[in-house]
């Protein structure tokens, strides 16, 4: 229970309310009269500048759980999380070479249409379903992060906190489509970066010696340590896990997840799509560093006599904002964090709707008029808002929420990436075998996720330990399992002659 003393003051609360109203009205500016095409509703007519797409990618990858939980990682540990960001940069380069050229061959609305072209309709549906399941589950955790911030700020319960943000975000996403998503992302990213910079400035002001005092104290306590050069599959943040695991994580997240692929497809051409993706990696790295500096600064401040909250690492930053920041800046910063929440939620609503509509509904109703398609897309947007609200209620569990969200996504991302790699790198991979590989990939990642701890076992009198593998390795393990099992199964379970002809003819194009 959050004490009343931690709640926002009336002026700050008024600023938060004003922001919520303002960003909702801003998003509504992009609504169009009458019914629009699916290309317009889901890709904004491919008429967006690369820098707007780049900022939208950053905003989509950030979310509230990043802003409140990454500082908590530095508070409890060090800068090891940045090793993942290095892997993110490497993974983006691979995506630009391997996946993006395939996405720009044809008029695609979702990533999974490409799977259908290469393998066939069954695998198309299965990969799209994996995306829907993964994105909905992971987004449930992200939406719940809203409750942490709003609960600290104004003391509302979880249900009301999430309902307010979901309803306002749904309003402009429903009306404005993907154009509203992108441009509100741009506005909200600037807003939450300014809020985070203001918070870091206030933290440094409260620490003896300012910025230099904070850096010296944090360095002396090894809070600024970034690299951990040792091999371990049980430790989450090592250099190898960050570089290799982060590379595969972002290959799956940005290369196969409709949330990001939809943005890349909305670029005017392949060059601008690549530029947006690569530039976003640099901004993400700097942004993560900013949030980690905030966490290190909070540790220094509270270690010098501040009354540290005891409500958990994920609540350290929002509690500091409410208790310690000056009137006006506190409301501005809380509004900035909510900006990230609304940005990510709107993106998820639109991407979930686009996949549901294009990958599942339209193949069953190919003759549906364009106006009816627009109306159905809006109805699906409402439906997904209700689903995410319900999943957020089920996501109240322990741990750093940023790690919980990434772990849930990693369970299914591995199999997804394995399917895309099979289609890209192998002509012999068939639909049947790839489905077997995908099932194996999901199964192995589920086992890793559900394993509570390291498990000892005995063979011929010798005791061994099967370790609890860190989530940063899950995408790599799942994708390799899918690839190897899928390739072998394709040789043992060949497709029909028609499928083989389609697969062989399409393989170079994929």
Provide the pLDDT for residue 500: 46
With a pLDDT cut of 90, the percent of the chain lying above it is: 28
Is residue 431 a contact partner of residue 183, using CB atoms and an 8 Å limit? no
Of 389 and 97, more confident: 97
Average pLDDT estimate for 48-54: 93
Enumerate the β-bridge partners of residue 455: 466
Range of lowest pLDDT (46-55, 121-130, 395-404, 462-471): 395-404
Residue 361 pLDDT > 60: yes
Average pLDDT estimate for 89-110: 87
Indicate the DSSP class of residue 461: T
Of 18 and 401, more confident: 18
Pairwise CA distance, residues 94 & 97, whole Å: 5
- 244 pLDDT band (50/70/90 cuts)? very high
Average pLDDT estimate for 122-141: 84
What secondary structure does DSSP assign to 357-389, as a single string? IIIIIHHH-TT--HHHHHHHHHHHHHHHHHHHH
Residue 4 pLDDT > 60: no
Is residue 95 a contact partner of residue 87, using CB atoms and an 8 Å limit? no
Of 64 and 189, more confident: 189
Is residue 20 a contact partner of residue 335, using CB atoms and an 8 Å limit? yes
- 440 pLDDT band (50/70/90 cuts)? very high
pTM above 0.75, yes or no: yes
Provide the pLDDT for residue 444: 92
Average pLDDT over the chain, rounded to an integer: 82
Provide the pLDDT for residue 284: 93
What pLDDT, in 10s, does the model give residues 484-500?
999 999 999 887 654 54
Which residues are within 8 A (CB) of 201 and not within 5 positions of it... i.e. 6 or more apart? none
Average pLDDT estimate for 350-360: 88
Provide the pLDDT for residue 509: 41
Provide the pLDDT for residue 503: 46
Average pLDDT estimate for 35-42: 68
Instruction: Please say whether the dihedral angle defined by the alpha carbons of residues 287, 288, 292 and 293, taken in this order, is positive or negative.
Output: negative
- 465 pLDDT band (50/70/90 cuts)? low
Buried b (16+ CB within 10 A) or exposed e, 186-204: bbbbebbbebbebbbebbb
Buried b (16+ CB within 10 A) or exposed e, 81-118: bbbbbbbbbbbbbebbeebbebbbeeebbbbbbbbbbb
- 506 pLDDT band (50/70/90 cuts)? very low
Provide the pLDDT for residue 227: 92
What pLDDT, in 10s, does the model give residues 268-326?
899 999 999 999 999 999 999 999 999 999 999 988 776 666 666 767 887 888 788 88
Is residue 459 a contact partner of residue 402, using CB atoms and an 8 Å limit? no
Residue 33 pLDDT > 50: yes
Provide the pLDDT for residue 508: 36
Average pLDDT estimate for 199-206: 92
Enumerate the β-bridge partners of residue 463: 458
Two structure tokens written together for 442: 């999901």
Provide the pLDDT for residue 16: 82
Provide the pLDDT for residue 457: 59
Two structure tokens written together for 405: 């969200």
Residue 201 pLDDT > 90: yes
Question: Can you tell me whether residue 406 is helix, strand or coil?
Answer: helix
Which residues are within 8 A (CB) of 501 and not within 5 positions of it... i.e. 6 or more apart? none
Of 98 and 176, more confident: 98
Average pLDDT estimate for 3-15: 69
Q: Name the residue among 265, 318, 304 with its Cα closest to residue 103.
A: 265
CB atoms within 10 A of CB 42: 26
Provide the pLDDT for residue 13: 82
What secondary structure does DSSP assign to 51-97, as a single string? HHHHHHHHHHHHHHHHHHHHHHHHHHS-STTHHHHHHHHHHHHHHHH
Provide the pLDDT for residue 498: 42
- Estimate the crossing angle of helix 258-265 against helix 50-76, to 10 degrees: 150
Pairwise CA distance, residues 214 & 207, whole Å: 6
Question: In terms of residues, how long is the chain?
Answer: 510
Pairwise CA distance, residues 89 & 97, whole Å: 13
Is residue 471 a contact partner of residue 456, using CB atoms and an 8 Å limit? no
Two structure tokens written together for 240: 């190898």
Which of 39-48, 171-180, 410-419 is modeled with the greatest confidence? Answer: 410-419
- 375 pLDDT band (50/70/90 cuts)? confident
**Domains of the chain, start order:** 4-506 (1.20.1730.10)
């Amino acid at each position: 229970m959050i004490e009343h003393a931690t709640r926002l003051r009336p002026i700050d609360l008024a600023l938060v309310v004003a922001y919520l109203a303002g960003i909702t009205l801003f998003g509504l500016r992009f609504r169009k009269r009458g019914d629009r095409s699916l290309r317009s509703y889901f890709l904004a007519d491919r008429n967006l500048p690369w820098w707007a797409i780049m900022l939208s990618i950053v905003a989509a990858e950030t979310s509230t759980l990043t802003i409140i939980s990454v500082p908590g990682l530095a508070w409890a540990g060090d800068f090891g999380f940045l090793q993942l960001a290095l892997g993110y940069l490497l993974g983006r380069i691979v995506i630009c070479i391997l996946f993006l050229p395939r996405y720009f061959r044809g008029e695609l609305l979702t990533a999974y249409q490409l799977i259908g072209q290469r393998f066939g309709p069954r695998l198309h549906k299965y990969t799209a379903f994996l995306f829907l399941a993964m994105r909905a589950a992971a987004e449930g955790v992200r939406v719940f992060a809203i409750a942490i911030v709003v609960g600290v700020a104004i003391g509302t319960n979880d249900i009301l906190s999430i309902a307010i943000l979901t309803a306002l975000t749904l309003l402009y996403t429903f009306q404005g489509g993907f154009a509203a998503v992108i441009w509100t992302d741009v506005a909200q990213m600037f807003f939450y970066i300014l809020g985070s910079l203001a918070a870091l400035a206030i933290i440094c002001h409260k620490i003896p010696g300012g910025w230099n005092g904070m850096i010296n104290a944090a360095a002396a306590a090894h809070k600024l340590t970034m690299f951990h050069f040792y091999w371990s599959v049980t430790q989450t943040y090592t250099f190898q896990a960050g570089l290799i695991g982060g590379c595969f994580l972002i290959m799956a997240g940005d290369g196969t997840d409709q949330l990001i692929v939809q943005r890349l497809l909305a670029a005017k051409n392949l060059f601008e799509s690549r530029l947006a993706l690569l530039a976003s990696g640099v901004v993400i790295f700097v942004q993560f560093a900013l949030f980690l500096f905030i966490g290190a600064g909070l540790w220094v401040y509270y270690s010098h006599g501040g009354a540290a909250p005891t409500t958990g690492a994920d609540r350290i930053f929002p509690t500091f904002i409410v208790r310690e920041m000056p009137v006006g800046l506190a409301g501005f910063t809380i509004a900035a964090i909510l900006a990230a929440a609304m940005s990510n939620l709107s993106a998820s609503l639109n991407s979930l709707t686009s996949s549901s509509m294009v990958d599942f509904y339209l193949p069953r109703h190919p003759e549906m008029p364009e106006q009816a398609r627009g109306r159905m897309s809006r109805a699906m947007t409402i439906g997904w808002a209700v689903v995410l609200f319900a999943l957020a209620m089920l996501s109240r569990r322990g741990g750093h929420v940023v790690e919980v969200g990434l772990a849930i996504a990693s369970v299914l991302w591995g199999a997804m990436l394995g399917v895309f790699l099979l289609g890209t790198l192998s002509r012999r991979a068939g639909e049947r075998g790839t489905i077997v590989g995908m099932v194996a990939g999901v199964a192995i990642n589920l086992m890793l996720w559900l394993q509570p701890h390291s498990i000892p076992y005995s063979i011929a009198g010798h005791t061994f330990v099967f370790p609890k593998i860190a989530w940063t390795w899950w995408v790599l393990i799942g994708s390799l399992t899918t690839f190897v099992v899928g390739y072998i199964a394709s040789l043992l379970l060949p497709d029909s002659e028609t499928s083989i002809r389609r697969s062989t003819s399409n393989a170079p194009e994929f």
